[in-house]
Amino acid sequence: MIIPTLNEEKNIPWVLRRMPSYVDEVIIVDGRSQDNTVEVAKAVRPDVVVVNETRKGKGVALRAGFAAASGDIIVMLDADGSMDPREIGWFVAPLQHDFDFVKGSRHVTGGGSEDLTRLRKAGNRALTGLANAVLHSNYSDLCYGYIAFRRECLEVLELQSDGFEIETELIVRAAKAGLRIAEVPSLELDRISGASNLQTFRDGWRVLHTLARECTVWEAPTAGARPEALRRVKYTYSNVRFPRLPVDPHSVLTPVVSQHA
Ligand SMILES: Nc1nc2c(ncn2[C@@H]2O[C@H](COP(=O)(O)OP(=O)(O)O)[C@@H](O)[C@H]2O)c(=O)[nH]1
Ligand SMILES: [Mg+2]
């Protein structure tokens, strides 16, 4: 479980307390909080792993968190109380049934948002439509950061974004790499306290820029593979960049609960 935090001392306790008991590793990525986020998190959950981000940005923070994660399944969510850890089961279940990448959506039945302003909603809709047109996909929500995937997906995704556009990069690359993607409903709540760090126009622009770059320039390491072949080599991509692959394909299908029991 990876949680980027920036001045979330009032919100992080709710997030940590609502974490289901089968989550065995919680990583918060901080470094620039001016408040007591880290101390509060440690007080609520003594086994929390704290990773220091090296530069500013949600993308930088998440990538640092991914690198530190040791579980088979990685779930990312926000620390502001807008994403409910009790929904984690919806994200993890498809990963245990043949999906590689599961993204939350506020715009499918059962999902919703209390947090989206009209402007952001319109922006997200436009960007989602654009992504669908280019990728020939049918996503209902592009800019939403409640996402779960198997750790070995990182080897094909080669993430490099620094800011909020990391979500777009994740989703577009997952699609281009031929990963099996599922969308599950998620209800985005209002941030408990504090203000959003996202600047609608600046970050919307960065998302657009990322979308353009990803759809044109980036080539997946799995490009050219037939879907059947991709399925078969799912756990052993040949051109792996770092050797952290689970050797036994069956190990990734073991439920999270029994993993460290
Ligand atoms: N570590 C770290 N976390 C960040 C940074 N920017 C945003 N976050 C976290 O990313 C999450 C989403 O940010 P938020 O400001 O709520 O954006 P919004 O939900 O898109 O309006 C929150 O948990 C923030 O604390 C950053 O520069 N560094
Ligand atoms: Mg938020």
Domains, the chain, with CATH or none: 2-234 (3.90.550.10)
User: Which residue's alpha carbon is at the smallest distance from atom 16 of ligand 1?
Assistant: 196
Cα–Cα distance for residue pair 86/139, rounded to 1 Å:
23
pTM: 0.84
Distance (angstroms) between ligand 1 centre and the Cα of 224 equals 36
pLDDT (0 to 100) of residue 238: 46
Q: 158 CB contacts (<8 Å, ≥6 apart)? A: 173, 221, 241
Is the minimum distance from the CB of 64 to ligand 1 under 6 angstroms? Answer: no
What stretches in the chain show pLDDT beneath 50?
232-240, 242-243, 252, 259, 261
User: Which residue's alpha carbon is at the smallest distance from atom 11 of ligand 1?
Assistant: 78
Cα of 225 vs its chain's centroid, Å:
25
Cα–Cα distance for residue pair 245/63, rounded to 1 Å:
18
Distance (angstroms) between ligand 2 centre and the Cα of 191 equals 6
pLDDT (0 to 100) of residue 232: 42
Is the minimum distance from the CB of 37 to ligand 1 under 6 angstroms? Answer: no
Question: Which ligand sits nearest to residue 120's alpha carbon?
Answer: 1
Distance (angstroms) between ligand 1 centre and the Cα of 27 equals 15
Distance (angstroms) between ligand 1 centre and the Cα of 95 equals 25
Distance (angstroms) between ligand 2 centre and the Cα of 110 equals 19
Sign, CA dihedral 90-92-95-100, equals: positive
pLDDT (0 to 100) of residue 148: 97
- Is-contact 136 168, C-beta < 8 A? no
Is the minimum distance from the CB of 78 to ligand 1 under 6 angstroms? Answer: yes
pLDDT (0 to 100) of residue 261: 47
Q: Which residue is it, tokens 């390491």?
A: 221
- Is-contact 1 21, C-beta < 8 A? no
Task: Locate the ligand 1 atom nearest the alpha carbon of residue 195 and give its number.
Answer: 15
pLDDT (0 to 100) of residue 216: 86
pLDDT (0 to 100) of residue 222: 75
Q: Which residues pair with 102 in a beta bridge?
A: 148, 182
Is the minimum distance from the CB of 6 to ligand 1 under 6 angstroms? Answer: yes
